[in-house]
Amino acid sequence: MIRLSAAAAALGALAGLAQAAISPELINSAPGELLYVWTGDFDKEQEDFLAVFEFNRTSSDYGKLVHKVGAGTFGNEPHHGQFSYDGYRFGAAGILSFLFPVKAREAAQYQLYFYDTTNPRKPKFFGNEKSTLLGIPFPNRLALDFGTADEFYPLPDNTYLVSGLGNRAGLNAGPQLAHISRDGVVLGQYPKPVQLDSKGVLIDGIQNILGSTANTIAGLGNQATHGITYTNKAPGKPLVLTADFIEPQSALVVTKPINGGVKYRNTFRLWDASPNQFTVIGTFLVPNPPADGAGCLTNYFIRGDPLFRAFGVGVNSNKVYLLDPDVAGGNKNLNIEIALDLDIENTSEFGTFGPFPKANPHYLRITADSKYAFLSLAAAGKVLFLDVSNPDNVRIKQVYNFPSGSAPHYIDIWPGSETRGDNRLVVIDYFLDFQSFGNIRQGGKHRVYVFTFDDNSFKLDPKWPGQGPSYDEPTGLDFTTLFPENGDTTPHGSAFYYNYKGKFYEYY
């Protein structure tokens, strides 16, 4: 257990490290620019929560806590969250919410948490996932067929896609993609149960507690949905691309004698995202994956690419892939190739970088003009600045090295980078620390950093707390001391509220 003593908490507050006090002026200001951070209690004894920070770089309150609102439960291992397309809801997932017992909490906790962001500076807890009976929504802890809820992706109709890595037994079987209303109502779960056409041919998905045989027939073996990306710009139909990461049960210590360690997966899935459809229409198989699997964590369509290609990240294979969905050919000839191999040197006019063995690449974020990208390396404690203007020739421009013991995981680019050249990158230094019960121990330093960037380089934003020139080791916002009432806390996912010219920023 990690807890701050009363004396330590007081010293932290005096040093300006703890920000428990919330200014009424900040809450009551115009919506403006905000950073939401979905946060867990490290020792899983106190309530998980959503923290809101001032993100207007011209404000004297830049980086200060605006509001904190609880989840009502603990031990969820808060993961990722996003605003609805209209900005009036924030939805987030707890990846371990389905587990029991954790510190003697209630069984089968809700996995999804929704907040009313009508006043984005003071969000209110709205509720959890819901089922419907006779068209009437009602809260239901078992509304989702999967466990390990993970990513939220907002759709233009103000609904969400939510991913889950496996079923409630921790196996890669059953539906692992849910379509959710912005208020938490489960609208559908995919792939659907086995369906046969008039000739008895399997046409859609599988829901099978054990998986294997029927999953193989369906072409859906080892589905472990994590990353989600969407485009409605492709001709013919909207597309969704998902990444298959791990089998959840293999991340637990008790299963190590059986599995030998974490079981990573080797596939990206292409879906027809027509209304109420969400059908897998193709599978990208990673070439020459490691024996224990590639671990496909995240993927992103390249904005403006005429072929509608996407980048995908393999955590355990240590590679970034280029995926071509063959839009012109009706998605019949899917192609995947290596775009960046971190196991070898990357040499270009920018210099020679690497190799970065066992670096564990996690999140890759692409600038709006699709010229550049950033890639977090959790095990290596680095973030790479990439030139992706030619997706067939990805080049490293710069490497930022975090302090020893860091584990940069989630990163995101501020939308002001597109609308007014306010180029900023948020980096969260925490992935997962399963402590005594898990095989994944990449806890990092529990910090939130902000960088500025231009066409040539990126650097720590000196205006963000804990990053000025007086710091021998920049700390950013240090969540080990930021909330003395909780003690050590773990930031994981973040999202931006960006009110531009009177309307919420539109996703792409």
- For position 193, what pLDDT does the model report? 60
How open is the CA angle 336-337-339, to the nearest 5 degrees?
125
| Of 27-36, 82-91, 343-352, minimum mean pLDDT range | 27-36
Residues in the chain: 508
Confidence of residue 288 (pLDDT cuts 50, 70, 90): very high
3-state DSSP assignment of residue 351: strand
Confidence of residue 505 (pLDDT cuts 50, 70, 90): low
3-state DSSP assignment of residue 279: strand
pTM > 0.75: yes or no: yes
Is a pLDDT exceeding 70 seen at residue 211?
A: no
The pLDDT > 90 percentage for the chain reads 68
| Of 55-59, 188-192, 198-202, 240-244, minimum mean pLDDT range | 198-202
Which residues, in sequence order, are bridge partners of residue 51?
A: 37, 68
Is a pLDDT exceeding 50 seen at residue 338?
A: yes
- For position 442, what pLDDT does the model report? 75
Is a pLDDT exceeding 70 seen at residue 210?
A: no
Is a pLDDT exceeding 60 seen at residue 197?
A: no
- For position 206, what pLDDT does the model report? 38
Is a pLDDT exceeding 60 seen at residue 57?
A: yes
Q: Which of 153-167, 374-388, 466-480 has the highest mean pLDDT?
A: 374-388
* CB-neighbour burial class of residue 288 (10 A; exposed 0-12, middle 13-18, buried 19+): exposed
Is a pLDDT exceeding 70 seen at residue 5?
A: no
Confidence of residue 508 (pLDDT cuts 50, 70, 90): very low
Is 179:161 a contact under the CB 8 Å cutoff?
yes
Is a pLDDT exceeding 50 seen at residue 362?
A: yes
Q: What is the pLDDT of residues 421-470, one digit of tens each?
A: 889 999 999 998 877 666 777 789 999 999 999 999 999 999 999 998 87
| Of 231-235, 337-341, 436-440, 502-506, minimum mean pLDDT range | 502-506
Rounded Cα–Cα distance for residues 269 and 224 (Å): 10
Is 362:412 a contact under the CB 8 Å cutoff?
no
How open is the CA angle 173-177-179, to the nearest 5 degrees?
145
* CB-neighbour burial class of residue 390 (10 A; exposed 0-12, middle 13-18, buried 19+): exposed
Query: CA end-to-end span of the chain, whole Å?
Result: 42
- For position 15, what pLDDT does the model report? 35
- For position 166, what pLDDT does the model report? 85
Domain ranges within the chain, ordered by starting residue:
1-171+173-194+207-219+480-508, 222-341
Handedness of CA 43, 46, 52, 53 (dihedral sign): negative
| Of 93-102, 135-144, 305-314, minimum mean pLDDT range | 93-102
Is 426:414 a contact under the CB 8 Å cutoff?
yes
The tokens describing 424, both together, are 């900023």
E-assigned strand segments in 307-436: 310-314, 319-324, 335-341, 346-348, 351-353, 361-366, 372-377, 382-387, 395-401, 411-413, 424-429, 432-433
E-assigned strand segments in 55-129: 65-70, 78-83, 89-94, 112-116, 124-128
- For position 363, what pLDDT does the model report? 97
Mean pLDDT across 247-259: 79
Rounded Cα–Cα distance for residues 206 and 204 (Å): 7
Mean pLDDT across 292-302: 96
Mean pLDDT across 104-123: 90
**Peptide bond preceding 78: is omega within 30 degrees of 0, i.e. cis?**
no
Characterize 197-223 residue by residue with b for buried, 16 or more Cβ atoms within 10 angstroms of its Cβ, and e for exposed: eeeeeeebbbbbeebeebbeebbbbbb
Confidence of residue 258 (pLDDT cuts 50, 70, 90): confident
Rounded Cα–Cα distance for residues 284 and 266 (Å): 8
Is a pLDDT exceeding 90 seen at residue 499?
A: no
- For position 22, what pLDDT does the model report? 64
- For position 167, what pLDDT does the model report? 84
What is the average pLDDT value for the chain, to the nearest integer? 86
Question: How many Cα neighbours within 13 Å face the side chain of 346?
Answer: 25
Is a pLDDT exceeding 50 seen at residue 399?
A: yes
